[in-house]
């Protein structure tokens, strides 16, 4: 019998252990406190005494709370120790229990009774709350030693209650009560939990149980600390928050995007740096050991000049930053590191990783945006209630926010009015077509200009003694185009008269097209260049061959016995190495882009801001409000710049592994620089620009750019022959041959066979077909879901309309009935003050309560002061009082209203939802 009971207890206890593990979170503050205050070791007896004492003066305040929380811990320790003590007693056949044991016998009964009471109360459900207080008093007077005599059922009941209390503690913060009430209820609950938690662990596993509890608490504390640590580790969080609080969330979104970019680039940098550059530098042949790693004789005199270095010629050109430096040795160093293979794989994985990251974050964003749901039902309401950003704490920002809210209201008013009328659609269409034509002309013109400039630069590059301008013409022209075209587009877009939001998208799309066109013209011109170089290479190859041969021959002729003096690597004639040229081109472009961006910020924002601020005192018109004013932070332009820069990095990183490093530096500096510039010299946007929605738009642009930058790289890898005398793939016909080589030489034969099978077109084409089919299927499924979604939305709308109509009809027929319905629909303000509850206790339900009477005149008077009093009396918003009293008389004749507090008669589907705390609060609602 005893054994059996023990087993059952153990099971229960284990249950409790597990459940409690999940629930302890709310108690962890006690852990923190405990950690701060050095935990004193108390004997069990002391603990009990102090806890009792402390329970008496529980009504006190905050410091008290802390000490109490500490007390919880000590109490727990105490209980566990006590249990041990008891078990020893038990083992000693209870005979040797001594006086202590006898002392406890009297209260045992008491305890049991109280437990029984509690059992009843919990059966009675809601009535539990008040009685529990008394119960607890009983049980506190009796010491909690009578656990042995509890049956399993009672234990289970107790456990349930403890759980309930714990839940209450953890959800306490979600309740709209006054703090005072919260505190008092919290104390009650905590006391209850701390009291009876100990009672649950019994029998054999006591120690284990206590240990479990301890570990759970430790674990939770650790988790919390770790979370804190994690949030502290997020870089620039404070900076971004600061910007956010001044400029609203849209500007902050740019910085978050920048930070995200920085993270991605850091990973790319790690990949390239760790797997390509470091091994080459450490284990590859040193500088000057072979032609490709040496500056040619002709350039050596100027190779260290700053002007040369600035153009990424000279020593930089022949460094590990660029493709040409790498050797085509199959394995390097004692690790037998396969550098060419690694170079190739890293080049591919850079794209692979970027694609994965972009798509993943896009998917996440899409999830979030669909979760938000863009319902167009509440345009005005949302504007009214959610447009003010409570974060704003800066007068200027506040002014701007006021202005923008006003304009947005006006906009939507205009929209509202315009949705009805439709004037002169032909003129508008004509204007729009015209605008698009103009913009296409602009795009073509800029494309041609770039092509022309790049061509010209090729002729310049053949000439000697060209000036600074000629050398940097391409970059300058591209930057200028990037600077002046967007405003031009904006003026043209004014013709179109689009809605601002749509207009913004168009604008973004056009700038994107401009940049893209420029980039691709640049690429095409570069490709011409590359082809020329390839032709040149063939010639040089022969020359090199002949030179080497000639050298060899001459040395042979001179002295056959002596070994020929090796030809100095600097003297070997070499090919143009088109890969390095491309890499240099990209690096130059990136650097000039960085410079232009920074100078624009410095001049366009900072100097302007200084000028406006200080010259304003002695100027004929108001500079701050008038023409120059302060610069706005151009979010879209900045984001686009970032996106294009990233595209350039992706394209160039294959030819210039060091480019990613430069980019990391750039992002890092621009984070600080732009943060500073924004805070010091910009004013927030006048136009509302929603960050949350356009986020995926940016990501989409990024994906597009990624794909487009993948194309040229893939083309060069697959179909251009690599240079014969530089780079890791020299000597091969195509770059990808490095894979075949590795498979053939390093893997067993069957792998090569499998690979050849897999690479068979007969297998690839079906695979592609399969993928296409899968995409088609998934697309169809998604469409079906979407349709179902819209259908549901429509239904909801219909229902709403119906409801409205019904209501309106009712309102016209019988106001009384409508009042009834108002009464019946659940209002979330179920919570009433305990006082109120007591009042209700005395009177049968369905009668006017004094509180109600009191509330009614207050509402009638409409004086906020008395209303506020009512609110003060009842911690929740006093809605109950006001809505209820008039109906109280009517209520009686209707059945089912005897318990109007309890059951929502869910008449309106939209009403009952969104009140999850209602059910939690139910047990404590008045009866």
Distances (CA, A) of 693 to 249, 323, 787, 790: 12, 40, 21, 19
Q: What residues contact 567, with CB distance under 8 A and at least 6 apart?
A: 547, 548, 551
Distance, CA of 105 to chain centre: 60
Q: How far apart are the C-alpha atoms of 347 and 656, rounded to whole Å?
A: 10
**If binding is defined by CB under 8 A, does position 392 make contact with other proteins?**
yes
Residue corresponding to tokens 């301008």? 469
Q: Cβ of residue 96: shortest distance to other proteins, in angstroms?
A: 43
Coil, strand, or helix at residue 248?
Answer: coil
Q: Cβ of residue 783: shortest distance to other proteins, in angstroms?
A: 24
Q: Cβ of residue 103: shortest distance to other proteins, in angstroms?
A: 34
Q: Cβ of residue 249: shortest distance to other proteins, in angstroms?
A: 6
One residue of 49, 680, 916, 922 binding other proteins per CB under 8 A: 916
**If binding is defined by CB under 8 A, does position 794 make contact with other proteins?**
no
**Site stretch for other proteins (CB under 8 A), options 579-587, 705-713, 743-751, 869-877:** 869-877
Q: How far apart are the C-alpha atoms of 155 and 103, rounded to whole Å?
A: 23
**If binding is defined by CB under 8 A, does position 127 make contact with other proteins?**
no
Q: How many residues bind other proteins (CB under 8 A)?
A: 94
Q: What residues contact 176, with CB distance under 8 A and at least 6 apart?
A: 831, 875, 876, 877
**Site stretch for other proteins (CB under 8 A), options 206-214, 490-498, 726-734, 818-826:** 818-826
Largest CA distance in the chain: 128
Distance, CA of 302 to chain centre: 50
**Site stretch for other proteins (CB under 8 A), options 211-219, 304-312, 409-417, 715-723:** 409-417
One residue of 458, 908, 925, 927 binding other proteins per CB under 8 A: 908
Q: Which bin fits 831, alpha (ψ -120 to 50), beta or left (φ > 0)?
A: beta
Beta bridge partners of 683: 632
**If binding is defined by CB under 8 A, does position 183 make contact with other proteins?**
yes
Q: What would the two tokens of residue 499 be?
A: 């809605």
**If binding is defined by CB under 8 A, does position 186 make contact with other proteins?**
yes
Torsion sign (Cα): 481, 482, 483, 486? positive
Which 567-596 residues touch other proteins, going by CB under 8 A? none
Q: Cβ of residue 364: shortest distance to other proteins, in angstroms?
A: 16
Q: How far apart are the C-alpha atoms of 655 and 324, rounded to whole Å?
A: 8
Q: What would the two tokens of residue 515 be?
A: 């940049």
Coil, strand, or helix at residue 847?
Answer: coil
Q: How far apart are the C-alpha atoms of 38 and 15, rounded to whole Å?
A: 32
Q: Cβ of residue 767: shortest distance to other proteins, in angstroms?
A: 41
Which residue's CB is nearer to other proteins, number 56 or number 173? 173
Which residue's CB is nearer to other proteins, number 704 or number 888? 888
**Site stretch for other proteins (CB under 8 A), options 341-349, 391-399, 478-486, 715-723:** 391-399
One residue of 604, 637, 834, 877 binding other proteins per CB under 8 A: 877
Q: Cβ of residue 914: shortest distance to other proteins, in angstroms?
A: 5
**Site stretch for other proteins (CB under 8 A), options 148-156, 205-213, 398-406, 445-453:** 398-406
Residue corresponding to tokens 């609950």? 189
Q: Cβ of residue 794: shortest distance to other proteins, in angstroms?
A: 16
Which 334-373 residues touch other proteins, going by CB under 8 A? 372-373
Q: Where are the beta strands (DSSP E) in 795-834?
A: none
Which 157-176 residues touch other proteins, going by CB under 8 A? 169-170, 172-176
Which candidate, 844, 852, 840, 841, places its Cα nearest to that of 886? 852
Which candidate, 54, 53, 104, places its Cα nearest to that of 82? 104
For residues 215 and 223, the answer to whether their CB atoms sit within 8 Å is no
For residues 71 and 60, the answer to whether their CB atoms sit within 8 Å is no
Which residue's CB is nearer to other proteins, number 148 or number 163? 163
Around 911, how many Cα atoms within 13 Å sit in the side-chain half-sphere?
A: 15
**If binding is defined by CB under 8 A, does position 402 make contact with other proteins?**
yes
Q: How far apart are the C-alpha atoms of 558 and 215, rounded to whole Å?
A: 86
Burial of 456 by CB count in 10 Å (0-12 exposed, 13-18 middle, 19+ buried)? middle
**If binding is defined by CB under 8 A, does position 386 make contact with other proteins?**
yes
**Site stretch for other proteins (CB under 8 A), options 152-160, 423-431, 652-660, 801-809:** 801-809
One residue of 868, 894, 899, 903 binding other proteins per CB under 8 A: 868
**If binding is defined by CB under 8 A, does position 914 make contact with other proteins?**
yes
Burial of 42 by CB count in 10 Å (0-12 exposed, 13-18 middle, 19+ buried)? middle
Q: What residues contact 915, with CB distance under 8 A and at least 6 apart?
A: 826, 828
Which residue's CB is nearer to other proteins, number 306 or number 390? 390
Which residue's CB is nearer to other proteins, number 361 or number 879? 879
One residue of 10, 108, 629, 879 binding other proteins per CB under 8 A: 879
**If binding is defined by CB under 8 A, does position 501 make contact with other proteins?**
no
**If binding is defined by CB under 8 A, does position 227 make contact with other proteins?**
no
Q: Cβ of residue 615: shortest distance to other proteins, in angstroms?
A: 28
One residue of 1, 179, 425, 618 binding other proteins per CB under 8 A: 179
One residue of 286, 559, 566, 862 binding other proteins per CB under 8 A: 862
Q: Could you report how far apart the first and last alpha carbons of the chain are, in Å?
A: 42
Q: What would the two tokens of residue 448 be?
A: 């041609």
One residue of 46, 160, 416, 568 binding other proteins per CB under 8 A: 416
One residue of 361, 740, 742, 818 binding other proteins per CB under 8 A: 818
One residue of 124, 370, 808, 841 binding other proteins per CB under 8 A: 808
Which candidate, 734, 882, 612, 767, places its Cα nearest to that of 340? 734
Which 53-72 residues touch other proteins, going by CB under 8 A? 59-65
For residues 620 and 353, the answer to whether their CB atoms sit within 8 Å is no
Q: Cβ of residue 881: shortest distance to other proteins, in angstroms?
A: 9
Q: Cβ of residue 679: shortest distance to other proteins, in angstroms?
A: 16
**Site stretch for other proteins (CB under 8 A), options 85-93, 180-188, 513-521, 885-893:** 180-188
| Number of Cβ atoms within 10 Å of the Cβ of 887 | 16
For residues 923 and 126, the answer to whether their CB atoms sit within 8 Å is yes
Q: What would the two tokens of residue 562 be?
A: 């002596």
Which residue's CB is nearer to other proteins, number 369 or number 600? 369
**Site stretch for other proteins (CB under 8 A), options 85-93, 298-306, 605-613, 913-921:** 913-921
Distances (CA, A) of 640 to 94, 490, 588, 683, 891: 81, 15, 19, 20, 64
**Site stretch for other proteins (CB under 8 A), options 124-132, 146-154, 844-852, 875-883:** 875-883
One residue of 236, 310, 315, 409 binding other proteins per CB under 8 A: 409
**If binding is defined by CB under 8 A, does position 22 make contact with other proteins?**
no
What are all long-range contacts of 832-835, with beta carbons under 8 Å and residues at least 24 apart? 832/874, 832/876, 832/880, 832/925, 832/926, 833/181, 833/873, 833/874, 833/875, 834/181, 835/873
Which 228-287 residues touch other proteins, going by CB under 8 A? 241, 245, 249
Which residue's CB is nearer to other proteins, number 854 or number 879? 879
Which 25-54 residues touch other proteins, going by CB under 8 A? 26, 29, 32-33
Q: Cβ of residue 380: shortest distance to other proteins, in angstroms?
A: 4
Which 659-698 residues touch other proteins, going by CB under 8 A? 692
**If binding is defined by CB under 8 A, does position 225 make contact with other proteins?**
no
**If binding is defined by CB under 8 A, does position 384 make contact with other proteins?**
yes
**If binding is defined by CB under 8 A, does position 807 make contact with other proteins?**
yes
Beta bridge partners of 337: 332
């Amino acid at each position: 019998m005893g054994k059996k009971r023990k087993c059952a207890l153990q099971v229960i206890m284990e249950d409790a252990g597990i459940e409690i593990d999940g629930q302890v979170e709310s108690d962890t503050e006690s852990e923190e406190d405990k950690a701060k205050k050095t935990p004193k070791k108390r004997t069990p007896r002391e603990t009990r005494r102090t806890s009792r004492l402390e329970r008496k003066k529980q009504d006190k305040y905050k410091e008290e709370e802390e000490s109490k929380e500490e007390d919880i811990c000590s109490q727990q320790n105490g209980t566990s120790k006590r249990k041990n003590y008891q078990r020893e007693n038990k083992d000693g056949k209870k005979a040797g229990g001594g006086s202590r044991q006898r002392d406890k016998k009297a209260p045992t009964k008491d305890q049991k009774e109280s437990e029984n009471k509690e059992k009843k109360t919990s059966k009675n459900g809601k009535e539990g709350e008040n009685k529990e207080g008394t119960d607890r008093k009983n049980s506190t007077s009796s010491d909690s030693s009578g656990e042995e005599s509890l049956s399993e059922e009672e234990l289970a009941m107790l456990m349930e209650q403890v759980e309930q209390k714990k839940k209450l503690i953890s959800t306490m913060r979600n309740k709209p009560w006054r703090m005072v009430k919260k505190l008092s209820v919290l104390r009650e609950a905590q006391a209850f939990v701390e009291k009876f938690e100990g009672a649950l662990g019994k029998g054999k596993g006591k120690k284990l149980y206590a240990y479990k509890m301890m570990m759970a608490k430790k674990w939770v504390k650790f988790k919390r600390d770790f979370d804190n640590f994690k949030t502290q580790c997020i870089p620039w969080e404070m900076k971004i928050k600061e910007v956010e609080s001044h400029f609203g969330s849209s500007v902050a979104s740019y910085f978050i995007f920048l930070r995200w970019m920085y993270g991605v680039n850091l990973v790319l940098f790690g990949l390239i740096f760790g797997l390509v550059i470091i091994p080459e530098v450490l284990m590859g042949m040193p500088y000057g050991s072979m032609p490709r790693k040496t500056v040619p004789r002709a350039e050596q005199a100027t190779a260290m000049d700053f002007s040369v270095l600035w153009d990424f010629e000279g020593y930089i050109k022949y460094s590990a930053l660029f493709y040409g430096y790498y050797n085509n040795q199959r394995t390097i160093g004692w690790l037998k590191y396969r550098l060419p293979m690694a170079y190739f794989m890293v080049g591919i994985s850079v794209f692979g990783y970027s694609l994965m990251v972009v798509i993943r974050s896009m998917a996440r964003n899409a999830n979030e945006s669909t979760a938000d749901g863009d319902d167009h039902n509440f345009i005005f309401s949302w504007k009214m209630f959610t447009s003010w950003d409570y974060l704003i704490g800066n007068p200027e920002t506040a002014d701007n926010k006021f202005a923008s809210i006003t304009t947005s209201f006006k906009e939507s008013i205009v929209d509202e009015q315009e949705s009805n009328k439709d004037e002169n659609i032909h003129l508008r269409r004509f204007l729009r077509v015209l605008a698009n034509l103009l913009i296409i002309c602009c795009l073509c013109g800029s494309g041609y200009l770039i092509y022309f400039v790049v061509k010209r630069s090729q002729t310049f590059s053949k000439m000697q003694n060209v000036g600074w301008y000629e050398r940097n013409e391409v970059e300058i022209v591209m930057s200028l185009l990037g600077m002046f075209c967007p405003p031009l587009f904006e003026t043209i877009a004014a013709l179109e008269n689009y809605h601002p939001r749509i207009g913004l998208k168009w604008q973004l799309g056009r700038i994107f097209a401009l940049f893209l066109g420029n980039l691709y013209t640049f690429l095409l011109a570069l490709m011409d260049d590359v082809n020329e170089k390839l032709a040149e290479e063939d010639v040089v190859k022969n020359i090199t061959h002949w030179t080497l041969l000639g050298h060899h021959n001459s040395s042979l002729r001179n002295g056959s016995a002596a070994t020929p003096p090796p030809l100095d690597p600097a003297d070997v004639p070499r090919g143009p190495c088109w890969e390095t040229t491309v890499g240099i081109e990209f690096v130059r472009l990136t650097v000039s882009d960085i410079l232009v961006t920074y100078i624009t910020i410095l001049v366009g924002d900072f100097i302007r801001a200084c000028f406006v601020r200080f010259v304003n005192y002695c100027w004929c018109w108001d500079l701050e409000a008038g023409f120059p004013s302060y610069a706005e932070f151009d979010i879209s332009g900045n984001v686009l710049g970032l996106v294009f820069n990233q595209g350039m990095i992706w394209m160039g990183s294959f030819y210039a592994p060091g480019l990613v490093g430069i980019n990391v530096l750039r992002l890092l500096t621009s984070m600080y620089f732009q943060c500073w510039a924004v805070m010091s010299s910009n004013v927030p946007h006048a136009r509302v620009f929603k960050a949350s929605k356009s986020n995926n738009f940016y990501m989409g642009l990024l994906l597009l750019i990624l794909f487009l930058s993948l194309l040229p790289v893939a083309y060069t890898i697959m179909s251009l022959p690599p240079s014969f005398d530089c780079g890791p793939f020299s000597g091969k016909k195509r770059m990808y041959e490095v894979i075949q080589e590795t498979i053939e030489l390093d893997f067993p034969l069957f792998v090569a066979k499998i690979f050849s099978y897999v690479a068979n077109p007969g297998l690839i084409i079906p695979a592609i077909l399969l993928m296409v089919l899968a995409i088609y299927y998934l697309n169809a499924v998604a469409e079906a879901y979407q349709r179902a979604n819209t259908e549901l939305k429509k239904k909801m709308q219909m229902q709403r309309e119906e409801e409205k109509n019904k209501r309106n009809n009712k309102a016209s027929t019988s106001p009384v009935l409508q009042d009834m319905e108002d009464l019946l629909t659940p209002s979330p303000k179920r919570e009433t003050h305990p006082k109120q509850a007591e009042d209700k206790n005395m009177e049968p339900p369905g009668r006017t309560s004094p509180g109600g009477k009191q509330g009614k005149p207050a509402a009638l008077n409409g004086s906020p002061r008395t209303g506020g009093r009512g609110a003060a009396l009842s911690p929740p918003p006093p809605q109950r009082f006001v809505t209820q009293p008039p109906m109280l008389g009517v209520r009686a004749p209707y059945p089912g209203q005897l318990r109007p507090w309890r059951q929502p008669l869910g008449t309106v589907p939209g009403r009952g939802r969104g009140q999850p705390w209602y059910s939690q609060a139910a047990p404590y609602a008045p009866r």
